[in-house]
């Protein structure tokens, strides 16, 4: 029997997480995408702590108009600014089982443009 979308994504996510983990120096940039919103957070997996987060529901981003892809780029820039402010320059990108295109790719490119390295 074929896997459902969520089961398939969970398997891919587990496969990615076997390889990628975050530290305080190089945290994991985790992405979650729902139908309407997109969320990104910097996670230190050693301590089990979220260092910074940004989402399309933040007030400054939610007020802006545009497509979901444009808003994803804004979320990427916001998380990069928060990371750089707290002294984090490099991260490991965790796409969370989603394909690297569309909103996930836009978020990653927005973070790279704002100065985050991965």
Which CATH number does the domain housing residue 23 bear?
Answer: 3.30.420.100
Nearest-angstrom CA–CA distance, 74 and 72: 5
Q: Which of 6, 48, 52 is nearest to 29 (CA)?
A: 52
The pTM is what?
0.92
Check pLDDT > 80 for residue 1: no
Which DSSP letter does residue 116 get? -
What is the per-residue pLDDT across 8-67, written as a single tens digit (0 to 9) for each? 999 999 999 999 999 999 999 999 999 999 999 999 999 999 999 999 999 999 999 999
For residue 53, count CB atoms less than 10 angstroms from its CB and return exposed for 0-12, middle for 13-18, buried for 19 or more.
Answer: middle
Domain that holds residue 34: 5-114
Check pLDDT > 90 for residue 92: yes
What was the pLDDT predicted at 27? 96
Check pLDDT > 80 for residue 87: yes
Domain count, the chain: 1
- CB-based contact 31:109 (threshold 8 Å): no
């Amino acid at each position: 029997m074929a896997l459902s979308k969520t089961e398939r994504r969970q398997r891919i996510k587990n496969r990615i997480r076997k390889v990628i983990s975050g530290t305080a120096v190089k945290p994991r940039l985790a992405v979650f995408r729902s139908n309407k919103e997109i969320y990104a957070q910097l996670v230190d997996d050693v301590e089990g702590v979220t260092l910074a987060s940004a989402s399309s529901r933040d007030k400054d981003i939610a007020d802006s108009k545009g497509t979901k892809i444009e808003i994803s780029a804004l979320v990427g820039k916001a998380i990069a600014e928060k990371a750089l402010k707290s002294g984090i320059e490099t991260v490991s990108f965790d796409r969370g089982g989603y394909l690297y295109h569309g909103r996930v790719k836009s978020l990653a490119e927005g973070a790279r443009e704002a100065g985050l390295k991965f």
